[in-house]
Amino acid sequence: MYADLRRAGRTDALEDTIDYKAIKKQILHIAENSQFYLIEALAETIADECLKNPRIERVKVVLEKPGALRFARTVGVEIVRDRNPVDLE
């Protein structure tokens, strides 16, 4: 997660930073209750959930699916999403 945390660094106050525990709980809830076929869809949903927090400007989500392919230890995706994406199309 990318955010401007300068204020939290100066104040050392919990209310000036991201509630990482709450975000972790939201992500676990999404993952545990998901019925996605693709890890790409799960990654997008996790990114969307993180970006609901007004302090988070950008998020990088890395997901792996061990044992998905024979003879491969794992497969995975990595996505980066911004709160205000630039339309490249």
> With contact defined as beta carbons under 8 Å apart, do 19 and 5 qualify?
no
Select which of 21, 52, 60, 65 is catalytic.
65
C-alpha distance from residue 88 to each of 13, 58, 82, 85 (Å): 38, 17, 13, 9
Q: Is 65 a catalytic residue?
A: yes
Task: Residue 65: count other Cβ atoms within 10 Å of its Cβ.
Answer: 14
> CA 86, CA 89: separation in Å to the nearest integer?
9
> CA 48, CA 83: separation in Å to the nearest integer?
9
Catalytic amino acids? 65
